[in-house]
Chain A
């Protein structure tokens, strides 16, 4: 158990819909990262927040957005869903320091039908 929690564990929805994935970081961690892992693309970095502010942006689509709230939990919003958005979405959190301090949550498996 990494201490990072993600809800829901599984999500099934239809094309064109919008979903929200939620992440609670480890106690004391100010940084939250979102990643997407699909079978053909591997693990791809989407976006990072640090203490409520966007810190870094990766290959995140315009249909996707995220935010980090004052209590440090984060939400990833996916809209106008397409079949290709089906993937595992991981959240990670970290304390200041190297990547070895980054801990991953269990992931949310999204299936778009």
Chain B
């Protein structure tokens, strides 16, 4: 019962921007879009989240479409250490984390 859809894999050249898409066409008004990543068999790591405005932090930028039905995580200058599985999830109120399959991002030299 996935509420988000992500491509299973993406490639990116080192130093270039990585743009990871996420579709969430049934998002509710009180649901935030959260992004996490998981480097091989390590614990998940929080990246960024947003409700409807675009957000930026030291790790990434999050672009949410005006209708909130999709979003894009942008890693502006991908490095080899950004190779990981990236998860887009919807969260409202007090909630806990349940991840789907995510997108495997491979950053190559």
A2 touches B43 (CB 8 A): yes
B42 engages A106 (CB within 8 Å): yes
Q: Which of B21-44 contact A (CB under 8 A)?
A: 34, 41-44
Q: Could you say which of A2, A56, A99 contacts B91, with CB atoms under 8 Å apart?
A: A99
Inter-subunit contact A105/B43 (CB<8 Å): yes
Q: Decide: A35 and B100 in contact? CB cutoff 8 A.
A: no
B101 in the interface, Cβ–Cβ < 8 Å? Answer: yes
Contact A44:B91 (CB < 8 A) given known A104-B43, A104-B44, A104-B45: no
A43 CB contacts on chain B under 8 angstroms: 44, 97-99
Q: How far is the CA of A88 from the CA of B41 in the complex (A)?
A: 8
Q: Is the CB of A102 within 8 A of B98?
A: no
The answer to whether A109 and B41 have CB atoms under 8 Å apart is yes
Interface status of A58 (Cβ within 8 A of chain B): yes
* Shortest Cβ distance from residue A91 to the other chain B in the assembled complex, whole angstroms: 8
Query: Is the Cβ of B95 less than 8 Å from the Cβ of A99?
Result: yes
B residues sitting closer than 8 Å to A (CB atoms) are 34, 41-46, 49, 91, 94-101
